[in-house]
Amino acid sequence: MGQEIASRRFRTADFAEFAARLATETALLQAWFDADQFATGPREGGFELEAWLIDATHLGPVALIEDFLRATDDPLIVPELAQFNMELNGTPVVLGGSALSRLQQELTRTLAHCATAAARLGASVARIGILPTLRPEHLVLAQMTPRARYRALNEQILRLRGGAPLRLEIQGAQPVAIEQPDVMLEAAATSFQIHLKISAAESARVFNLSKILSAPMVAIAANSPYLFGRDLWAETRIPLFEQSIAVGGGPLRERVGFGVRYASGSVMDCFRANLIRYEVLLPQLMDSAPEELAHLRLHNGTIWRWNRPLIGFDGPGRPHLRMEHRVVAAGPSAADNVADAAFYFGLIEALAGASATPALETRIPFARARTNFYLAARHGLDASIVWDDGRPIELPRLILEQLLPLAQRGLAALGIDPPEIDHWLGIIAGRARLRRNGAAWQRAWVARHGRDPVALTAAYLAHQGSGEPVHTWNLE
């Protein structure tokens, strides 16, 4: 959940000074956009993958993150909110040639390293949106990773709520309604976050297209049908995360969400909104020059848009922009997640690149894109959504007939090798043809074998260990 801070204790003066520095840095960022001072260059892509530490015998979450981090000793492996979660970071690659296979090879090596370290601790590593064996008693403050950032986030969100507990309500085949006294419900959801380096000039288009594409992306990659043994959404992680750190006050104040409109001009719209609409959660004052945007970047890291623009630096004084696409679930396999990234990269290039057709956002209003997203998250590949001709279409048909050809064209424009394109998009096509993503496989397994979270998790992990994509898994 972002960078560490030095302290969780803040004074009123800290909030005021942080707000002043945030305003200064936001004005500076606006000047950079006006002068187009962002680094340019070839497309680069990367990822972050969140995962679970689980007991190798009982397959439930196990709080071993500190021992695990010492055992792995890798700066690309970092802690998350709970002591049973971690985040694996990939090295960005220039998108061309065999770049996608290189992403998979690095991820596979990192996962093997993690598996070896976990085994020494009597644990395993699982990649799944929501772990079937998770129970409410795992989500308590005693399981929070001992970092000042997480304690402070919990305290500040509860402050904004006036101390009121968070309430989780999700409809589905077996609805759930519970109250939670802290933010630990967020630890129940893990994702695969796709990063794409973009230019300032195209940033609004990429941001808007990422919103539109969130519906097919969340459906093709859904992998979170169960929470506490209840069958809910195909991607239950979406409403779970939105409600787990809700501060109240409507969509203009919520910290997780789809947003309220498209961007116009550039993603500077988002950073202006950050300043105006979102209260500061972590007023950590830093001894840094305004040009480092330290306060702006920390504040942006406490607003979890499903599509979030990020500022980075290629070197001293060379800022760049990235789009972080956050709707994809962790797992089922490394191959599945790299295929998800390939699908997104290709679609963005085809729809926002130099040879792009007229703007899709002019044919799909924002309200429709938002409705499509939540329909797709709830029903997965069984959803029908309204696309650019104003008529309903089943998502598998949309993916197979319209989106995959676009993604193929976009990857070719990036210079991805033809065998690579066929391989990675073939995984997406296989899921769409069979209507089998991770969520569908889990539900099909339960339909055959019955509700046994431990047995379901064991079967899932056995298939995950094979490295094969989920549409090829059997139900044994």
State the burial class of residue 291 (Cβ atoms within 10 Å of its Cβ: 0-12, 13-18, 19+).
middle
How many of the other CB atoms lie within 10 Å of CB of 198?
24
What does the alpha-carbon distance between residue 275 and residue 23 come to, in Å, rounded to a whole number?
7
What does the alpha-carbon distance between residue 220 and residue 376 come to, in Å, rounded to a whole number?
9
pTM across the whole model: 0.97
Cis peptide, bond prior to residue 332, ω within 30 of zero: yes
Q: pLDDT for 393-412, tens place per residue?
A: 999 999 999 999 999 999 99
For residue 221, the 8-state DSSP code is: T
What does the alpha-carbon distance between residue 342 and residue 346 come to, in Å, rounded to a whole number?
6
Q: What torsion do the CA atoms of 341, 346, 351, 355 make, to the nearest 10 degrees?
A: 150
What's residue 455's pLDDT? 98
DSSP assignment of 89-119 equals EPPPEESSBTHHHHHHHHHHHHHHHHHHHHH
Cα R_g (the chain), whole angstroms: 21
Q: What is the pLDDT along the chain (476 residues), one digit of tens a residue?
A: 466 566 678 999 999 999 999 999 999 999 999 999 999 889 999 999 999 999 999 999 999 999 999 999 999 999 999 999 999 999 999 999 999 999 999 999 999 999 999 999 999 999 999 999 999 999 999 999 999 999 999 999 999 999 999 999 999 999 999 999 999 999 999 999 999 999 999 999 999 999 999 999 999 999 999 999 999 999 999 999 999 999 987 776 789 999 999 999 999 999 999 999 999 999 999 999 999 999 999 999 999 999 999 999 987 779 999 999 999 999 999 999 999 999 999 999 999 976 666 689 899 999 999 999 999 999 999 999 999 999 999 999 999 999 999 999 999 999 999 999 999 999 999 999 999 999 999 999 999 999 999 999 999 999 999 999 999 999 98
What does the alpha-carbon distance between residue 76 and residue 371 come to, in Å, rounded to a whole number?
36
CA-CA-CA-CA torsion sign (51, 119, 334, 381): negative
What does the alpha-carbon distance between residue 247 and residue 159 come to, in Å, rounded to a whole number?
9
What does the alpha-carbon distance between residue 338 and residue 328 come to, in Å, rounded to a whole number?
11
What's residue 427's pLDDT? 98
What's residue 1's pLDDT? 47
C-alpha triplet 226, 229, 235: angle, nearest 5°: 10
β 256-257/304-305 pair status: parallel
What's residue 6's pLDDT? 63
Cα distances from 420 to residues 66, 99, 412, 426, 431, in angstroms, run: 38, 9, 10, 10, 17
Q: How many residues does the chain have?
A: 476
Domain boundaries, the chain: 12-35+146-189+201-470
Residue 349 DSSP SS3: helix
Query: Over the range 411-443, which residues count as b (16 or more CB within 10 Å of their CB) and which as e?
Result: bebbebbeebbebbbebbbebbeeebbbbbbbb
Which of 82, 89, 85 is closest to 49 using CA atoms? 89
At 124, which helix (H) or strand (E)? strand 123-126
What does the alpha-carbon distance between residue 304 and residue 324 come to, in Å, rounded to a whole number?
10
Contact (CB, 8 A) for 241 and 256? yes
What does the alpha-carbon distance between residue 164 and residue 162 come to, in Å, rounded to a whole number?
6
What's residue 9's pLDDT? 82
Q: What torsion do the CA atoms of 293, 192, 428, 172 make, to the nearest 10 degrees?
A: -120
Task: Please check whether the domain covering 12-35+146-189+201-470 is classified as CATH 1.20.120.
Answer: no
Q: What are phi and psi of 204, to 5 degrees?
A: -65, -45
At 425, which helix (H) or strand (E)? helix 418-434
Query: Over the range 237-254, which residues count as b (16 or more CB within 10 Å of their CB) and which as e?
Result: bbbbbbbbbbbeeeeeeb
